[in-house]
Amino acid sequence: MGIYLNPDNEGFWESVRSEIYVDKTGLIAYTNKCLNTEQKYICVSRPRRFGKSMALKMLAAYYSRGCNSRELFSGLKIANDATYNAHLNQYNVIHLNMQHFLIQARKQGVTDYLEQTVIDDIREVYEELFSKQETILAAVLEQIYAKTKKKFIFLIDEWDCVMRERQESEGLQKQYLDFLRNLLKDRPYVALAYLTGILPVKKYGQHSALNMFWEYSMTNQKALEEFTGFTESEVKELCERFDMDFAEISSWYDGYRLKKFEHIYNPKSVVEAILCGDCSNYWTSTETYDALKVYMDMNFDGLRSDIVRMLGGESVNVNTHSFQNDMRNFETKDDVLTLLIHLGYLGYDSKTKQAFIPNKEIIEEFENAMSVGGWSEIMHVLKASERLLDDTLQCAEKYVAEGLDMAHTEVASILTYNDENSLACAISLAYYSARKDYKIIRELPTGRGFADIVFLPLPFSRKPALVVELKYDKSAATAIRQIKDRQYTRALKGYAGEILLVGVNYDKDDKNKPHSCVIEKMTLNIVSS
C-alpha cells in the first residue's frame, strides 16, 4: 500500500468509528454498476463539507488492492449487495487530493509535480514494468496495464480547486484540464474515474475538455440523490437517538430539494448541532460571509431584486445552462445564481427550475453579508421586524400598518411593488425576525384556495399562530372575511391554540396611509384533521 496507489483504509475506519456515522455505502452498489461501462466517468459536485471526501475514503477502502476491508464493511448496507464480493479490494486505486498538490507544487507546475510524485509512489510496486526515464503518468499506467491487464480506479478529490483558487490563471486551468483528459479519456486502463468538487466539469464555449464525464451536481444529482446529504428519515432517526428537536433541526438545515428526495440536509451542520446539543450556523462558519457578499453585490440587472424576493420566502426562475462552471466568467444574473446553487447558498428545484434560500442557517449568512454595506434599506427593514412582530402579537393595528408602510418605502427602490405577490414578499421581509419562532409558509393550500402567509409556531416558541391574508386596492376587512369564509384555519393540521387573523390591504392611491390592517383573535380548540 502506498500514499496515492492503493492507500490503506484507515480514513474510512475513522468515519465508521465516529459517534455519528450514517451509512452511505449504498453508493458503492451504484459505482459497481458503472465499472467498465460508458458510465464509468463520474463527476460529483456538491457544496463544501457535504461528505465528498468521506465518500472517496469509503470507495478507496472498498476497492483498493492490498487492503483487507471485509471486517470494515461487515454489517453495512453494501455487504448485502449482490456485487459486494466481486469487487471488494480487487482494483489498483489511485487516490488524489488536488488541493494538496496545488499547495505543495509551489514554483513547480502543478501537473508536473503531481506526475513526478505519483510516479515515484507507483515505482515502489511496479518499478520493473515501466521505463525509469518515463515522466508522463498516463504512459506509465499504459505500460503497467499492458503487462498486467489490471485496471485502475481513479478517485480525485477537490478536482476543481484550480478553477476556484487560480481564477485568473486561464493558462494553468487549460493545462490542468488537458492533463486530466490525457490521463483519463479513452484509456484502456480506466475501470472507474470518480471526481468530486464544488463545481461541475469546466466548460469552454460549447464543449468541455472532460466531456466524457457524467455530471451529478446540485442542479441534478440523478441517481446519487440519496448520497448528496442526510435524508429526512436519517435525520429523524438521529434526533430520536440523541433527543434533539427534529422541527428545530429541520428549520435550520433542511431545504436542498432534489427530484426524489425533497428534503436533503447539510450533514456537517446536522452532526455538529447534535454533538453540541445546539443549533447554529456551523457550515457557514467554515468560510467568511465575504465570499457570498462578492456575488450578491455583482451588478447584474435583476440580481438584487431576486435576492430580496428569496429573502422574502419566494423562489425565483433561473437558467442554469449558460454557467461556465467557474467562479470568474459571468454573463448574466443567472450565472451568479447558478454558482450560488453549486456553492450551497441557494437550493434548486429542478422541476420548477427555480432557486430559493433553503434554510435558517443560510438565511443568516445572507443577513451577515448584507450587514456590511450596500444593503442598508433592507437591513433597516430586517432590524425593525422584531418590533413589527411584537405589535402584531399585541394586535396594535395602527402600528402594524405604519411598520408595513416603512417596509414598503425601504424596499421600493429594489422590489417592484405593484401586485399582491410583491406585497407578500415585502411583508415576509417585514416579519423577518419571526423566523426564529415560526415556520413561515407562503401560499398554504387550504382546500378552498391558498392562505397567503401562515406563521406556524415552532414547538418551543409558545406564540400564537398567524394567518395573514393580503389584498391590493380592496380592504383589510375583506381579507379577514376571506380567511373566515374559506376556513383557512382548518389547514393548520396538528395545531390547537390561539390564532391571530391578520388582514392587510395596500391602497396605491392613498399616499399617506397606503397600508391598512385588521387583526382578530380566535382559538382553535380542536386539532384540525
Quote the pLDDT of residue 420: 63
Cα–Cα distance measured from residue 54 to residue 60, given in angstroms and rounded to the nearest whole number: 10
Residue 516: which of 482, 484, 469, 483 has the closest Cα? 469
Residue 363 phi/psi, 5° resolution?
-55, -45
Give the pTM: 0.90
Residue 111: which of 103, 101, 121 has the closest Cα? 101
Quote the pLDDT of residue 526: 57
Residue 346: which of 314, 378, 383, 385 has the closest Cα? 314
Quote the pLDDT of residue 529: 45
CB 103 within 8 A of CB 47: no
* List of residues 6+ apart from 226 with CB closer than 8 A: 24, 26, 260, 261
Question: What's the grid cell of residue 12?
Answer: 474510512
Residue 412: which of 377, 371, 453, 366 has the closest Cα? 377
Q: Which stretches of the chain drop beneath a pLDDT of 70? A: 107, 204-207, 285-289, 412-413, 415-421, 526-529
What dotted CATH number matches 383-524?
Answer: 3.40.1350
All CATH 3.40.1350 domain ranges in the chain, comma separated: 383-524
Quote the pLDDT of residue 276: 95
Quote the pLDDT of residue 418: 56
Among all chains, which residue has been given the C-alpha cell 462558519? Answer: 285
Q: What Å distances lie between residue 306 and 17, 73, 318, CA to CA?
A: 44, 46, 10
First to last CA, the chain: 61
CB 219 within 8 A of CB 194: no
* List of residues 6+ apart from 106 with CB closer than 8 A: none
Cα–Cα distance measured from residue 469 to residue 453, given in angstroms and rounded to the nearest whole number: 7
Q: What Å distances lie between residue 102 and 32, 97, 136, 161, CA to CA?
A: 30, 9, 18, 8
DSSP calls for 239-295: HHHHT--HHHHHHHH--B--SS-S-EE-HHHHHHHHHHTS---TTGGGS-THHHHHH
Quote the pLDDT of residue 105: 82
Q: By three-state DSSP, how is residue 160 classified?
A: coil
All CATH 3.40.50 domain ranges in the chain, comma separated: 10-216
Q: How many CA atoms lie within 13 A of 398 on its CB side?
A: 0
Q: Give me the amino acid identity at 44.
A: V
Among all chains, which residue has been given the C-alpha cell 468530486? Answer: 196
Strands 347-349 and 354-356: antiparallel
CATH topology of domain 10-216: Rossmann fold (3.40.50)
Q: Give the H or E element holding residue 427.
A: helix 420-430
